[in-house]
Amino acid sequence: MQDQTAIITGAADGIGWAMAQGFAEAGYRVLIADLDGDKAASRAAELGTAHAGAAVDVTRDSDVTALAELADARFGRCDVLVNNAGIADRHLPTLEQDMEHFGRVLDVHLKGTFMMSRAIGARMIAAGSGAIVNIGSIAGVSGMPRRNAYGAAKAGIVSMTRAMACEWAGQGLRVNAIIPGYVETALVRALIAEGKIDADRLRRRIPMGHLAQPGDIAAAALFLVSGQARYITGTTLTVDGGWSAFGDSGDASSG
Residues near ligand NAD (CB under 6 A): 9-10, 12-16, 34-36, 56-59, 84-87, 108, 112, 135, 137, 180, 182-183, 185-188
Annotated catalytic residue, options 28, 150, 182, 231: 150
Q: Which residues pair with 212 in a beta bridge?
A: 183
**Residue 142 amino acid letter:** S
With a CB cutoff of 8 Å and minimum separation 6, the contacts of 93 are 146
Q: Which helix (H) or strand (E) holds 7?
A: strand 5-9
CA atoms of 237 and 230, how far apart (whole Å): 14
Pick 78 or 108: Cβ nearer ligand NAD? 108
Task: State which residue, 157 or 170, has the beta carbon closest to ligand NAD.
Answer: 157
Tell me how far, at minimum, the Cβ of 14 lies from ligand NAD, in Å.
Answer: 2
**Is 150 among the residues known to form the active site?**
yes
Maximum C-alpha span of the chain:
55
Q: Which is nearer to ligand NAD, 12 or 71 (CB)?
A: 12
Q: How far is the CB of 233 from ligand NAD (least distance, A)?
A: 21
Distance in Å, CB of 212 to ligand NAD, minimum: 7
Torsion of CA 104, 150, 52, 56, to 10 degrees: -10
Alpha helices in the chain (DSSP H): 14-25, 37-47, 61-74, 99-106, 112-127, 148-168, 186-193, 199-205, 214-225
Write down the least CB distance from residue 81 to ligand NAD, Å: 13
- Nearest-Å Rg of the Cα atoms of the chain is 18
Residue with Cβ nearer ligand NAD (129 or 189): 189
Contact predicate 101/91, CB 8 Å: no
Q: Which residues are catalytic?
A: 150
